[in-house]
Structure 1
Amino acid sequence: MRFYRCLFVLLALLVIGLHAAEVESYEFPSCAMTCDEQLFSDCSLNNTSCFCASSSRSTSLLDCVSSNCTVKEYFTTYKLYEKECDITPLQGPPMVNAATLIPFILGTFFFITRIIAKSSGLAGGWGWDDYTIIVAFILGVAIYALNCAMIRYGFGQNIWDVPFDDITKFYQLFQGLAVMYKIQISLAKISVCLFLLRIFQTRSFRYVAYGLIVVNAAIGITWALVDSFRCLPTRLTWTGWMGEESGQCINFIVSILINCLVNIFVDSVLILMPVWEVIKLQLPLKKKIAVALMFAVGSLLTIIAIIRVVVFWNNRWGINQTTGLYPLIHWSVIEVQISVMCACLPAFRALAGRWFPSLLGSARRTYASHTMEGYNRHTGGNSNINKSISYSVNYASRSENSVVELVDVDAKQRP
């Protein structure tokens, strides 16, 4: 038994050694050497001090290799060129990045406070808006995890510095993240629409809200299918980078651009709807501003969506997609976490009003009602009615219904 274990270890070491020897024995592909001989007779790759002194030589060589060699040969040539000329490879981002971790923590915090508020009977109780945001939150966690896994497989590095097997794995993870993103964003917006339907009851508002629910559902389903079947056969989505199989793929850049612009338009309508309804309410100006600002926080999501489309357009990728896709996915991960946070803000406000009423100005306030003294003076003081009753208005939510509670503070004094 011990003999077999030793034999297994030796075989494993032999395989590792062969793999290492294979890596160390990399040489320029034959087609790259042919290009080198055709382009440079006096200053070839064999003379690195001469060849690496001019960037134009490397550009000409790589252009020739790109036109006459396979994709794998091009990547190998580029990687060995950087090695021969002592060019430091691009380092990828850390797996745990503060720019994505902080929104993830915030989204998780506000989601947990929403669950606590609902379990405590606050914020209107459980409804379909809660069930949709739960699914959206789970998808947001999965998207964050996929982003970390993509970084592990070379996301953010130059694609020619990434092992071939890792490139295929990267595209598989990107495919899953793209589909989840489309569904998650649509569910988060549908959750907000369902929540608003529980507050505003005007017919016009409800028509628009239901229309947005249908539009968001259509957007999520349509683009999830587009991302799932953007190549035929579908395996070309993660193997097409090699250029070894024939098939058809849609223009992914155009697809993403259209999706970004449609989402920005829907976000704008979703923000203006509740703000317009609040403006029409008979509320004090300060109260209107406070409530409108709470709904207008959703504009942060629109700002992020605009940033996302700008960085996408400025970093439209070519063959180096592990680097070109990074800004787009980076802001997509931030966007999904902010969408959860915005959808959970009203429930957080209800919970904060219960635990810290003075913080939100929901403490008990006492107001005197109109007394009958003026009436007595008007009638010459002959009336026997001469009484005042004081009420306190409790603004804190005591039930799932939004009802203002009046408490008679003089009840104990009356016979």
Structure 2
Amino acid sequence: MDGLPSCALLCLTEAVASSSCSLLELDCICHNALLTTQLQTCGLQNCTVKDNLRSMRFLYDTCDYPVVVDNKVFPAIIIAGIVLASVAVTLRISGRLIGSRLGLDDAVILLSMATAIAISIIGLIYIRLGLGKDIWFVPFADITKIFHLYYFEEILYVASIALTKISMLLLLLRLFPDENFRRATYIVLAFTICWGLGIFLANSFSCQPISYFWHMWDGEHEGKCIEHAHLLWAHAIINILLDVVIIGLPLSTLIRLNLSWAKKIGICSMFAIGIVVTIVSILRFTSSLSFDMLDNPTKNFVSIGIWSLVEVYLAIISVSMPGVCAFFNYTSARCSSKKSSAAYGGGRSSSRRSPGASNAHGNGTIPTPREVTSGTFQSANREQGEFIRLQEIDSFRT
């Protein structure tokens, strides 16, 4: 029994005395479920946190219990998610640079992307420190580091989610000049900014002193914290409700467009892709209902961490989808117009063209943002570039 803390040895002696095993019968002790349960309960009541973890490590090593490390899916999600989100944002920005100009919504999504990159880096460090292992297999110093990183990851997570929603609302303001729609969008935007700032500050100052957040696990430091589960639930519930509101905002306006139902469904589906993000938010919320930061956290962080990563990446991708569609529409239109120009020039003499026969859109390029066709909105401010056209998202040719 060398290496077993004295408090745990006392618990073991008491538990064995009331069982059919003896201290020398390790196989009997290890496979007596009632005895090991009594031993763990006694350790929680009489040992320090660190001694209890030493006891659990001793029990697993001595009894040769199977050790399961859950660290395969987490890095795969990080790598796949950050690559896909980066591609989506790059195409969005490229499409905007080709078709019109960058706006505030683009700047905000770049900020959200920066927070997603930071979250991804933290996630990879998690794996190196021991995320996915039972906490009694992780060195004490690394446990503190994991909690420290988790503190920053939670702050970055709520910031990224709020920024993504703000970017979407700013995009809607660039798309729709209707005053009633814009008034409603501004109200939702103001609420989202206040909610994002509030939950950011609540997570940042959830513990007093702040350092108690990453030291509270060992039971050796003094401090107090807001119940972490309450913060998770409050954020999740408002987050889901905002998703529903933001998804619903443009749909009624889009349905009234002068388009075929097939195109209406296609465009509405593109805006409603955020429903997938909402489903992920709900799954993260259900995962958080049973989450306890102090109950084997290095193992339990994995589940809620995966849902958080998926939500962050999918949110960025879904908000970038209109810009991605714009990029492909612009590049496709330009390729088509070049082919048409080449075919026309090869089949007819340029001297036979009438003055009005030249491409109305200027040298075979796609229509400029100032040209408005059926199914779009017009505004007196369009020439100043305040609005972008819905054609920049999808082609409305009938």
SS in structure 2 at match of 1:198 = helix
Equivalent of 2:289, from 307, 313, 329?
313
Residue 140 of structure 1 corresponds to 116
- Measured in 1, the distance between the counterparts of 2:236 and 2:246 equals 15
In structure 2, the partner of 1:29 is 5
Structure 1 counterpart of 2:368, from 365, 384, 399: 399
1 CA distance for matches of 2:130 and 2:366? 51
**Pair 1:94 & 2:63 matched:** no
- Give the structure 2 partner of residue 131 of structure 1: 107
Matches within 5 A, 1:9-408: 27-41=3-17, 43-94=21-72, 97-120=75-98, 122=99, 124-316=100-292, 318-357=294-333, 397-401=366-370, 403-404=372-373
1:200-234 deviations in whole A, cap 9, x for unaligned?
Answer: 12222112211222122122211121111111111
TM-score (norm 1): 0.79
Cα deviation 1:143-183 (Å, max 9, x = unaligned): 11111111211212111111100000000110110001111
Q: Which deviations, in whole Å up to 9, do the C-alpha atoms of 1:354-400 show, x marking residues without a partner?
A: 2224999xx99xxxxxxxxxxxxxxxxxxxxxxxx999998984334
Stretches of structure 2 lacking an aligned partner (at least 5 in a row): 341-355, 375-398
CA–CA distance in 2 between the matches of 1:133 and 1:26? Answer: 57
Aligned partners of 2:106 and 2:167 also within 8 Å: yes
Q: Which has the larger radius of gyration?
A: 1
1:191 and 1:329, CA in 2 relative to 1: closer, same or farther beyond 3 A? same
In the alignment of these two chains, the number of paired residues is: 354
How high is the TM-score relative to the length of structure 2? 0.82
- Relative contact order higher in (CA < 8 Å, ≥ 6 apart): 2
Extract unaligned runs of 5+ from structure 1.
1-24, 365-388, 406-415
* 1:273 Cα deviation from its structure 2 partner: 0.7
**Structure-1 separation of matches of 2:251 and 2:271:** 7
Q: Secondary structure at the match of 2:64?
A: coil
Report the Cα distance in structure 1 between the residues aligned to 2:87 and 2:197, rounded to whole angstroms: 28
Instruction: Kindly indicate whether the alpha-carbon contact (under 8 Å) linking 1:36 and 1:44 is maintained by their aligned counterparts in 2.
Output: no
Verify the 8 A CA contact 1:271 1:299 in the aligned structure 2: yes
What is residue 375 of structure 1 aligned with on the other side?
none
Q: Which moved more, 1:143-152 or 1:42-51?
A: 42-51
Q: Deviations 1:79-138 (Å, cap 9, x if unpaired)?
A: 110111111222131386333322222111111112222332x1x411100110111111
